[in-house]
């Protein structure tokens, strides 16, 4: 396997010759950065990134969806065909997975070379519940580009364990698919990653789509609460975790959340903000935004997005003091500590619902289970996010199969 890893590394670096983009200084972005916020672009599109890149920006982030968008353009079809010979001795399923890894690494390297910043690269969704695979691919990403790659690991029981082991091995980790302060308290204490996320745009969309509220304030509240918890925990620890405000949907959120450790900005949001906002930014981390919650959300436990109770704190402490060796062990500990709603047991039918609903779950399917404390809205969005990424990963894998067979 070591020989294969070397050949793959040599292959993804071969003939890499991206012309470096030197970002120009921009007073607008400088003012935002001066509030303490790192500025990252959330795109895998090279042209789109170049159009919006400035000297104040320091990273780009990709995911299974964004990478698939690039692969489906056909720009890597010849590269995929050439990669076939590198993995020819592996079983078909492994060949596909390895080429998907190669594509992710290659595209990440192109972004890193072109823009000179950090690049978040995401694991194949098949690894989400496989600690060994998380370690294997995470370390290999790191070995290919240790200075610039950050490995994105999703929130699963196995992901918590795998991310901690990666971090202990010196791998930079961006722990993804977090939606709440309580999830990020658990992640920060147990996995100790470099970055955690709140995908705030989907919180508002969940409330709007399910008529639980008008969407205002909820995502912002979740980010600020999570930021304050993560900052407090990091102050007590020898390692530092930084908060990402992810899935920005509106340029106004650049103002509302100024001072957050990191913004991952879709280019459209960045461009709209630059065009329409005043550029007079100040930290808003002490704001207490009002959240519009309708009567229909009486039993929806929307507060789970920003509140952290003693059960979560106790679970975090227990897992941090002794890391479980398996996801199953972590699952049972979570249940024992009264946090079943963070790691729920799902029926086959419920798993189908998670996938079929897309990124925003249908609340009516889960209303009873949420009211009984068997699942929570932040957990639902985490599960839905992983399911959505899985579908995009399957599309990417299918394109690989069609080319190499």
113, 18 in Cβ contact below 8 A?
yes
Tokens representing 30 are 């400088």
Element of type H or E holding 264? strand 262-265
Tens digits of residue pLDDT in 247-280:
899 999 999 999 999 999 999 999 999 999 999 9
**What's the predicted TM-score (pTM) here?**
0.97
Q: How many other C-beta atoms lie within 10 A of the C-beta of residue 331?
A: 19
* Residue 297 DSSP code: G
Position 253 scores a pLDDT of: 98
In whole angstroms, what is the distance from residue 147 CA to residue 161 CA?
A: 23
In whole angstroms, what is the distance from residue 398 CA to residue 269 CA?
A: 31
For 403, counting Cβ atoms within 10 Å of its Cβ (0-12 exposed, 13-18 middle, 19+ buried), the class is middle
Cα dihedral 135, 136, 141, 143 sign: positive
In whole angstroms, what is the distance from residue 126 CA to residue 148 CA?
A: 24
Position 397 scores a pLDDT of: 98
Nearest to 360 by CA among 382, 344, 341: 382
What number of CA atoms fall less than 13 Å from residue 66's CA on the CB side?
Answer: 24
Tens digits of residue pLDDT in 35-51:
999 999 999 999 999 99
In whole angstroms, what is the distance from residue 294 CA to residue 211 CA?
A: 7
- Give CA angle at 111 (105, 115), nearest 5°: 150
Instruction: Give the position of tokens 């550029």.
Output: 279
175, 196 in Cβ contact below 8 A?
yes
In whole angstroms, what is the distance from residue 231 CA to residue 275 CA?
A: 31
First to last CA, the chain: 23
In whole angstroms, what is the distance from residue 40 CA to residue 187 CA?
A: 21
Position 403 scores a pLDDT of: 98
123, 142 in Cβ contact below 8 A?
no
Which residues, in sequence order, are bridge partners of residue 41?
60, 265
Q: How many other C-beta atoms lie within 10 A of the C-beta of residue 372?
A: 11
Nearest to 253 by CA among 281, 293, 234, 211: 281
Task: Give exposure, 176-215, as e/b (b: 16+ Cβ within 10 Å).
Answer: bbbbbbbbbbbbbbbbbbbbbbbbbbbbbbbbbbbebbeb
> What angle, 0 to 180 degrees and rounded to 10, lies between the N-to-C axes of helices 377-404 and 348-357?
80
In whole angstroms, what is the distance from residue 28 CA to residue 37 CA?
A: 13
Position 2 scores a pLDDT of: 75
- Strand 242-246 relative to strand 195-199: parallel, antiparallel, unpaired? parallel
Position 73 scores a pLDDT of: 98
In whole angstroms, what is the distance from residue 380 CA to residue 206 CA?
A: 10
Q: What is the pLDDT along the chain (405 residues), one digit of tens a residue?
A: 779 999 999 999 999 999 999 999 999 999 999 999 999 999 999 999 999 999 999 999 999 999 999 999 999 999 999 999 999 999 999 999 999 999 999 999 999 999 999 999 999 999 999 999 999 999 999 999 999 999 999 999 999 999 999 999 999 999 999 999 999 999 999 999 999 999 999 999 999 999 999 999 999 999 999 999 999 999 998 899 999 999 899 999 999 999 999 999 999 999 999 999 999 999 999 999 999 999 999 999 999 999 999 999 999 999 999 999 999 999 999 999 999 999 999 999 999 999 999 999 999 999 999 999 999 999 999 999 999 999 999 999 999 999 999
In the chain the domains, ranked by start, together with CATH numbers, are 2-404 (3.20.20.70)
């Amino acid at each position: 396997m070591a020989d294969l890893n070397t050949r793959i590394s040599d292959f993804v670096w071969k003939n890499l010759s991206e012309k470096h983009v030197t970002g120009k200084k921009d007073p607008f972005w400088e003012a935002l950065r001066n509030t303490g916020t790192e500025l990252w672009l959330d795109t895998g599109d090279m042209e789109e990134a170049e159009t919006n890149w400035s000297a104040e920006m320091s990273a780009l982030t990709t995911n299974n969806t964004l990478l698939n968008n690039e692969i489906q353009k056909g720009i890597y079809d010849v590269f995929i065909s050439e990669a076939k010979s590198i993995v020819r001795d592996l079983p078909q399923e492994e060949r596909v997975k390895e080429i998907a890894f190669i594509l992710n690494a290659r595209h990440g390297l192109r972004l890193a070379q072109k823009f000179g910043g950090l690049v978040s690269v995401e694991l194949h969704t098949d690894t989400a519940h496989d600690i060994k695979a998380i370690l294997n691919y995470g370390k290999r990403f790191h070995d290919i580009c240790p200075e610039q790659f950050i490995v994105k690991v999703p929130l699963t029981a196995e992901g918590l364990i795998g991310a901690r082991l990666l971090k202990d091995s010196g791998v930079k980790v961006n722990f993804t698919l977090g939606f709440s302060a309580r999830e990020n308290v658990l992640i920060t204490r147990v996995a100790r990653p470099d970055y955690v996320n709140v995908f705030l745009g989907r919180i508002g969309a969940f409330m709007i789509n399910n008529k639980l509220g008008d969407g205002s304030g909820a995502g912002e509240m979740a980010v600020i609460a999570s930021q304050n918890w993560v900052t407090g925990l990091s102050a007590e620890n020898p390692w530092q975790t930084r908060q990402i405000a992810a899935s920005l949907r509106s340029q106004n959120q650049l103002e509302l959340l100024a001072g957050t450790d990191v913004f991952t900005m879709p280019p459209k949001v960045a461009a709209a903000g630059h065009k329409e906002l005043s550029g007079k930014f100040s930290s808003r981390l002490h704001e207490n935004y009002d959240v519009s919650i309708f009567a229909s959300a009486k039993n929806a436990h929307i507060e789970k997005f920003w509140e952290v109770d003693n059960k979560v704190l106790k679970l975090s402490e227990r897992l941090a003091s002794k890391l479980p060796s398996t996801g199953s062990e972590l699952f049972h500990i979570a249940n024992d500590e009264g946090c079943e709603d963070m790691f729920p047991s799902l029926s086959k039918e419920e798993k189908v619902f998670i996938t079929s609903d897309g990124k925003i779950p249908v609340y009516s399917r889960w209303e009873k289970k949420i009211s009984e404390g068997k699942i929570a809205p932040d957990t639902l969005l985490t599960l839905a996010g992983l399911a959505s990424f899985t579908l995009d990963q399957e599309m990417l894998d299918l394109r690989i199969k069609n080319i190499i067979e």
